[in-house]
A = this chain, B = another copy of it.
């Protein structure tokens, strides 16, 4: 069996989660190739070294560019903030490395376009690129997509997608990099909105073509992280709300917020079709609610499907029914699918083109917001 050497860039929250997934995936799934955790890259050598020891990487580096030159590295996994995605991803693809890049793909449409073009070019040489929209790999949501594809919801009419967190409710919470546009690109919109845009399009099996959106910053200034007595300006949105039209006519409502007191990671999505409906909340991630409108009226009702049966996506490799999975398993599934795609030389999903489309939707939301929420096409040419 082939070995795939992996370099991971970034070792904060996302880097740690990816590391756990890289350590686990080959122990649980039958893979077509064996991933090896070759090198962990960080900005500072000492921090990278201690992270590599802790997270189980053979080597460490503070120079991702040189890592791209290594023959024993086949995959570059990018877990840095969004402002460095484009440079690293394009560099890696040009160096002939497969790339897995955390979401959102980039901080701007221009960067995302460059990345998608690089991915296109690389694709011709058998080099693959994938965006890390991990929620697609929640088994309950993979099941949801499959039910839509089987036609069990009929024609899709409406989608309701909310991503509710509450970690900014306190006006004294510090001005982290996530609240500065130059690092994070946007606020709730890019961090949370990107997930629900991708997920909604994935579940419905259709693309958003236009949006009407609003963004809001509730607290304009916050204490600086290193100097709490001083305050700096918040340059991203706290909440983003938008309505969207899909190509085939479905209507979607979207909300991403960090001010929904009491909601910790409330990624909630509902899909209503002419024959049935689905509902999901990540806080109960092992459950999918499914309403089958073809059931006789006296026994119709939302079914709480506990998506832990061997018949459910990804579950054949795990535990007996009812022995539930958690957040981190979505990354294990993502890696399984990515490694499989790399081994097969098949296009992974979502690819960078999909990531670019999400970026364009987010951009259209910002453009709409700047124009009094006027309906705005996602592709400017379509205006």
A95 on the interface (CB 8 Å rule)?
A: no
Which B residues are CB-close (under 8 A) to A27? 19-20, 23, 54-56
Q: Is A266 an interface residue (CB 8 A)?
A: yes
Q: Is A273 located at the chain interface by the 8 A CB criterion?
A: yes
Within 8 A of B (CB), among A47-89: 54-56
**Contact assessment for A304 and B301 in the assembled complex, using a CB-CB cutoff below 8 Å:** yes
> Please, how many angstroms separate the alpha-carbon atoms of A158 and B237 in the complex?
14
A321-347 interface bits toward B, Cβ cutoff 8 Å, 1 = contact, 0 = none: 111111111000000000000000000
Instruction: Output the least CB separation between A134 and chain B (Å).
Output: 11
Number of residues from A at the complex interface, CB < 8 A: 95
Judge whether B303 and A302 touch: CB under 8 Å. Answer: yes
Q: Which residues of B contact A253 (CB under 8 A)?
A: 241, 253, 255
A312 at the A/B interface (Cβ < 8 Å)? Answer: yes
B residues less than 8 Å from A13 (CB atoms): 319-320
Query: Within 8 Å of chain B (Cβ to Cβ): is A231?
Result: no
Partner of A241, one of B243, B249, B321, B328: B243
A259 touches B372 (CB 8 A): no
Which A159-191 residues sit within 8 Å CB-CB of chain B?
160, 162, 165-167, 169, 171
B305, A300: Cβ atoms closer than 8 Å? yes
Is A298 an interface residue when CB atoms closer than 8 A count as contact? yes
Most B C-beta atoms less than 10 A away, residue of A272, A288, A329: A272
Chain A residues numbered 6-58 whose CB sits less than 8 Å from any CB in chain B: 13, 17, 19-20, 23-24, 27-28, 54-56
Name the B residues within 8 Å of A375 (CB-CB).
214, 372-373
Cross-chain contact B216 with A214 (CB below 8 angstroms): no
Task: Closest B residue to A266 by CB, please name it.
Answer: B322
Contact with B along A254-267 (1 / 0, CB 8 A): 01010111111110
Give the chain B neighbours of A158 by CB distance below 8 A: 239, 257, 259-260
Contacting residues, chain B, for A293 (C-beta < 8 A): 169, 261-262
Of A255, A262, A282, most B-chain CB atoms within 10 Å: A262
Proximity bits, A267-285, B CB within 8 Å = 1, else 0: 0001011111100001111
Q: CA–CA, A153 to B260, complex, Å?
A: 11
The distance from the CB of A136 to the nearest CB of chain B, in whole angstroms, is 16
CA distance A28 to B20 in the complex (A): 9
Q: Are A301 and B291 in contact (CB under 8 A)?
A: no
Of listed A243, A261, A270, A371, residue having the most chain B CB within 10 A: A261
Q: Is the CB of B311 within 8 A of A17?
A: no
A262-B276, A264-B309 known; 15 new pairs, CB 8 Å cut-off, are A13-B319, A19-B27, A27-B54, A143-B298, A169-B293, A253-B253, A259-B272, A261-B272, A262-B300, A265-B308, A283-B286, A283-B322, A285-B324, A298-B305, A298-B309
Residues of A within 8 A of B (CB): 13, 17, 19-20, 23-24, 27-28, 54-56, 143, 147, 152-153, 157-158, 160, 162, 165-167, 169, 171, 212, 214, 216, 218, 239, 241, 243, 249, 251, 253, 255, 257, 259-266, 270, 272-277, 282-288, 290-293, 295-306, 308-312, 319-329, 371-375
